[in-house]
Chains A and B, each alone.
Chain A
């Protein structure tokens, strides 16, 4: 910008300088944000790498020193990673695994996320910080990367945490959704509401039964067999304490 002579010119120059400075600050902030983001990504990738190659790092000294050098450059201390946020998250993960294992006989390895959080809070009664559903989800996604077969699936309005390798297909998922209304379904209901053939309904229900996700009930007064789903009835707290 061309300088204009006189006071007017001085004021213009000052305004211009302010504008440049503001722009400069914005650009710097943008760069910093980007850098922070990249750094965060890089750090998590490094942590992932450390996990995957734990044995190599332990056994191979030159590999190990190179790895440490890389970590130092980005301010990651792999040894200190055992404390703080990382470990806290892992701690919750361990407790989630414990709860899922303990309730598996009752619900077949599928548990309502809200119920899981409730049981987790009960377990951690003495901890200063309350555990949120987000904390649970974060811990579960960490568990997932560790390849422990954990998964969060959506069925209707509910989020269910799966801790067994059972693959649930769309048919199973639809039945779980249907079951949320009363806690159970009948074969007729499944056929009618989902417009399935008898065979398709029976197949899906039988699989769910065999996987321990469903229980039969032959005591209904109309004589029709009901298939109950513990995971949608918050049954997992049944019999697990007392």
Chain B
């Protein structure tokens, strides 16, 4: 089985027609489903949060079979993820896509558990500390995309689980937990 680093690629990735957007509806639906699963799996295991359509993304090409996904195909697959709530377009031009292999609510739950596990119930932390601090090492929060993190924090703020306050610059944005 072909691999991308540690990641095991599914067999369809080596079948040339899957790199062309299929015209027949039923066939296309199956194709989109396979690609959606692959994209999510890959992003989850490689901790990729943003896919930029116009850049080199390992899944978009297979040099072994000499095939590359057209822009149209890339957009079709990512749009399908967006429709499912598993991704969001970051720009109107649909060139950049935020991948939600965990939904925002799932991230919120992870943050709550993180707080409880570390006894941070009444503590204050900066957003950067949550992302890159010592406590987050080895957890799913490590290296989380900042946009996603802030969205999850805002969701929790809305539920009264914490309060976000601004510091002197964006890097100082802080969070007071009341989980």
Q: Do A and B come from one complex?
A: yes
Q: Which residues of A contact B (CB under 8 A)?
A: 105-106, 108, 184, 209-210, 212, 215-221, 226, 228, 230, 233, 235, 237-239, 242
Main secondary structure of the interface of B (DSSP, over half): helix
B10 contacts A215, C-beta separation under 8 Å: no
Q: Nearest-CB distance from B41 to chain A (Å)?
A: 9
Size class of the B contact interface (CB-based, 8 Å):
20 to 34
Q: Which residue of A lies closest to B8 (CB)?
A: A242
When A and B form their complex, what is the total count of cross-chain residue pairs whose Cβ atoms lie within 8 Å? Answer: 56
A239-B17 contact in complex given A215-B22, A216-B23, C-beta closer than 8 Å: no
Residue pair B68, A219 in contact (C-beta under 8 Å): yes
**What is the bound-complex CA distance between A215 and B19, given in angstroms?**
10
The answer to whether residues A221 and B66 also contact, given A215-B22, A216-B17 and a CB cut-off of 8 A, is: yes
Q: Does B159 contact A (CB under 8 A)?
A: no
Q: Does residue B27 face the partner (Cβ distance < 8 Å to A)? A: yes
Contact, CB under 8 Å: A219 / B19:
yes
- In the bound complex, how far is the Cα of B67 from the Cα of A212, in angstroms? 21
User: Which residues from A are CB-within-8-Å of B11?
Assistant: 235, 237-239
Residues of chain B whose beta carbon lies under 8 Å from any beta carbon of chain A: 10-12, 15-20, 22-24, 26-27, 29-30, 34, 66-68
Name A's interface SS: mixed
Report how far A105 CA is from B67 CA in the complex, Å.
22
Bound state CA distance, A215 and B16, in angstroms? Answer: 9
Whether A105 pairs with B30 at a CB distance below 8 angstroms is yes
Besides the known contacts A184-B16, A212-B24, 19 further A-B residue pairs in the complex with CB atoms under 8 A apart: A209-B23, A210-B24, A212-B26, A215-B17, A215-B18, A215-B20, A216-B17, A216-B22, A217-B19, A217-B20, A218-B20, A219-B16, A219-B67, A226-B16, A230-B15, A235-B15, A238-B11, A238-B15, A239-B10
Task: Say yes or no: A217-B26 contact (C-beta < 8 A), given A238-B11, A242-B10.
Answer: no
14 contacts between A and B (CB under 8 A): A106-B30, A212-B26, A215-B20, A217-B16, A217-B20, A218-B20, A219-B16, A219-B66, A221-B66, A233-B15, A238-B10, A238-B12, A239-B11, A242-B10
Q: Which of A212, A238, A239 has the largest number of chain B CB atoms within 10 A?
A: A239
Query: With A105-B26, A239-B12 as given contacts, are A216 and B34 in contact (CB-CB < 8 Å)?
Result: no
Which residue of chain A is the closest to B31 with respect to CB atoms? A215
Give A218 to B67 CA distance when docked, in angstroms.
9
**Shortest distance from the beta carbon of A97 to any chain B beta carbon, whole Å:** 19
